[in-house]
Structures are given as structure tokens and as C-alpha cells.
Amino acid sequence: MSEIGQRIHELRTERIPRLTQHELAERAGVSVDVIQKLEQGRKATARIRTLSAIATALDVDLSSLLSKPTHLETVPVDGGLLALRRALTPVVDEPGEPADLEDLHAQLGEAWSAYWSGDYDLLSAFLPGVIGSSRALPSKDLLAEACQIAACTLVHLGHADLSLVAAAQGLAAAEDPLLRAALTGTHSWVLLNQARAADAAVIAIREADEIEPRRRAPKAAISMWGNLLVTGATAAARSGNEDEARDLLQVAHGAAVRLGEDRNDYQTAFGVSQVVMQRVDVAVVAGDYVGALDAARDMPADTGLPLAARARHQTDLAHAHVALGHATEAERILLDIERMAPRWMRYQVFPRTVVGELLSTRKPTIAIKSLARRLGVE
């Protein structure tokens, strides 16, 4: 029995009144075959919306279904991290029912949506089944993508070493060269979050050199190349090489103009918006706050950046405003970030740091004090 299947069985049979598999399926609006396969371990996981429907039918939050409780009412803080660790570092391959390709693609799509919305706790419990199912497939690209989501999620959950394991597994599995480029960008970002900026710059720039597209290359290839240039620029700036960062961003801007649109190939954003975002970031890292706000004026009004990326960009702007003494504008931006990405914000050190900076001013407002309480900032 899978861990999710076991929890469904426990929640179904230990509740009062007890539900049969058929009754649960009817309440959830799903096939009884799905319930049976999950409980029997022939299916490791299901789509997030299917699991949400089952959780609702059992009168529990989705987190209670996905995260192993110590008893039926209490969910531990680490959620599914132990299961995710086991999925990423299997000792014995456990045979299971062959994965349905269409269903697995849908699960990965929902996982990315959850990631960009900041649902990291949900993902830590949802991904083990997806990783296990994708291992059984002849093509390993879906496994590589699942490992990529895991690596990104684990960074936000504060497990940098395990995120590096996930990134390495994804790289080893990737067969599509552009997916491998995306995973190299993820690997670079993971290293950056381990305070290894110089290493992060090297691998991103090296991969960008290897995949530099020819004149008639498809847009996806140009997009992946441009994203690696931006990733390399970010890492170069953090390693103190600001000139190289600016040079890389200049080349990346040319690639973005060549594309003529914001794209998100292989769940990797690139376009003029991404270049502007990183120009702002590089200026902030260099302490050039006026330059950061000037660069931000070039951000397209109809930016195609994912939600988490937009929130991160806005945090850079809030930080710049605080540094320049613009407390009111910084406060407005931070409250906007909370409204648009509340789940993302509660996992991030940077916005909490900016809130702390505002809190330490002479007269912090009631709104900032309230935000600080919600984020656990003292």
C-alpha cells in the first residue's frame, strides 16, 4: 500500500461513520477503481484535483491526506519530506502498476502550477508518488522533470543538500537536450542557494556556450539559451563579477529581442521581462538602488513572468525603496506581494528581511506590524 493509499484507508475506515470504497468514490466524484488502486498500492498517487476531491469527501484538508499525521488531527511540519527523500534515493526498485503517460503529464502540470503558486508543503508530499511512477517509464524525461520540480521545491523548504541530489538525478535522467539545459539552470540556482555563486556561474555559462543556437534555431532553443545567460549573470553578480554579469545580460537582451515574446519553455521563463528582472536584481546586489528602480521601468506592462518570479521581482523593488528611505512605497509593494502570493511569501527569507527592515524604522505603521506578525518577523 502506498503512503497516500494507506492514509486514505485510515481516514476512510477510522472515521465515524466508516465509509466503504464505493461510498468514498461517490462522495468524491471519482472512479472507485482509483480508490482501490491507491489503497492497494497499485497506484502511487493521483492528480492534485483528484486528491483534493478525496480529501474533501473525507472532511480533511489536503495536507492531512498527503502528510503523514502523528494522529488523525495533527500534521507534522516536515510533511512528506521523508517520503520525498526515499523517492529520490531508492535502494530497491519496487515494482508497481505501469504509469499512465497522459495522467502523469497531467500530474506534472498540476505540480508546476502548485510550485509557481508557492504550495511547497503540498508538493513535498505529492511528488514522491510522481517520482516513483516516472521511474518505471522507458523514457526518463518525465523522471527528470519530476526531479527538477523536487529540486526547486526543496530549496524553498530549506533542504539545500537534498535539492542538489534531486537536481543531479534530474540531470542524469534527462534525454531531451533542452530539458537538460533547463535542469542545468536549476542546478545552477540550487548551487546559488548554497552560497556557491562562482560554481553556479561556471555551469550555467558553460552550458550556454554548448547550446548557443544557430541563426534559424527554434524559439525554444533560443529561450533556453537566454535563460542560461540570465542565470549565469545572476550568479556572476553574486560572486562579485558585476562586469561579467552586465555583459551576459546584454547578450541575453539580444536573445530576448530576437524572441519577441516572453516564453516559458520547459517551465523556464525567458524574455524581455526576465532580462529586466535580473538587471534589477544585479543592481540591487551591487547596492545601486537608484539604478535598480530605473531598470525596473523597462518591465513590460503585460509581463509573462510566473507568479513566484513576479513576487521575487517586487521584493527587489521593495528592498530598493527601503534602502532609499521610501518607506511608504516599500510598504505598499510588500502588501501587494502578500495579496498576490501569500503562500510564496511565507517561505521566503528575503521579503521577511525587508519587512524586518521596515519594522526597525522609527515609526513602523500598524500595517507593517501586522504583516510582520503574519510572517513571524520579530
Q: Give the model confidence (pLDDT) of 49-105 as tens digits.
A: 788 788 888 887 666 676 544 333 333 444 467 888 888 988 766 555 556 788 889
Quote the mean pLDDT of the chain: 87
Question: Do the domain assignments include residue 95?
Answer: yes
Q: Are residues 206 and 171 in the same domain?
A: no
DSSP label of 136: T
Question: Which residues have a Cβ under 8 Å from the Cβ of 19 and sit 6 or more positions away?
Answer: 12, 13, 27, 57, 58
pLDDT of 378? 75
Per-residue buried b or exposed e for 300-310, using 16+ beta carbons within 10 Å of the residue's own CB: eeebbbbbbbb
Task: Tell me the CATH number at 57.
Answer: 1.10.260.40
**What confidence score (pLDDT) does residue 14 get?**
82
Domain boundary among 25, 57, 76: 76
Q: Which residues contact 1 (CB under 8 A, 6 or more apart)?
A: 9, 39, 40, 41
pLDDT at position 76: 40
User: Using an 8 Å Cβ cutoff, are 66 and 80 in contact?
Assistant: yes
- Among the three residues 254, 284, 305, which one is the final residue of a domain in this structure? 305
Give 97 or 245, the one with higher predicted confidence.
245
Q: Confirm whether 189 is domain-assigned.
A: no
Q: Do 282 and 334 lie in a common domain?
A: no
Other beta carbons within 10 Å of 326: 17
- Is residue 233 included in any domain, yes or no? yes
**281 and 319 together in one domain:** no
Domain-embedded: residue 332: yes
Q: Are residues 360 and 293 part of one domain?
A: no
| Prior bond of 17 cis (ω within 30°) | yes
Q: Is residue 188 part of a domain?
A: no
Whether 349 and 270 map to the same domain: the answer is: no
- pLDDT confidence of residue 66: 65
Which one has a higher pLDDT value, 200 or 53? 200
Average pLDDT over residues 351-374: 90
pLDDT at 132 over 80: yes
Q: Which of 27-31, 40-44, 195-199, 332-336 has the highest mean pLDDT?
A: 332-336
Residues 72 and 89 in one domain: no
Q: How many structural domains compose the chain?
A: 4
Is pLDDT above 60 for 1? Answer: no
pLDDT surpasses 70 at 293: yes
Range of the domain at 87: 80-175
Phi, psi of 348 (to 5 degrees): -100, 130
User: Strand, coil or helix: what is 46?
Assistant: coil
By the 8 A CB rule, do 313 and 295 touch? no
Which residues lie across from 71 on neighbouring strands?
74
Indicate whether 253 pLDDT > 70.
yes
Whether 166 and 94 map to the same domain: the answer is yes
pLDDT for 265 equals 93
Whether residue 41 is contained in a domain is answered as yes
Q: Please indicate, yes or no, whether residues 108 and 171 belong to a single structural domain of this protein.
A: yes
**Residue 325 within any structural domain of the chain:** yes
Question: Residue 13 — pLDDT band, cuts 50, 70, 90?
Answer: confident
Among residues 289, 305, 321, the one where a domain terminates is 305
- Is the pLDDT at 243 greater than 60? The verdict is yes
If asked whether residues 370 and 359 sit together in one domain, one would say: yes
Residues 60 and 97 in one domain: no
Q: Are residues 3 and 53 in the same domain?
A: yes
- pLDDT for residue 2: 64
183 falls within a domain: no
Are 287 and 374 contained in the same domain?
no
What pLDDT, on the 0 to 100 scale, is given for residue 54? 87
**Contact at 8 Å (CB) between 239 and 193?**
no
The confidence score (pLDDT) of residue 252 equals 96
pTM for the model: 0.80
What pLDDT, on the 0 to 100 scale, is given for residue 74?
35
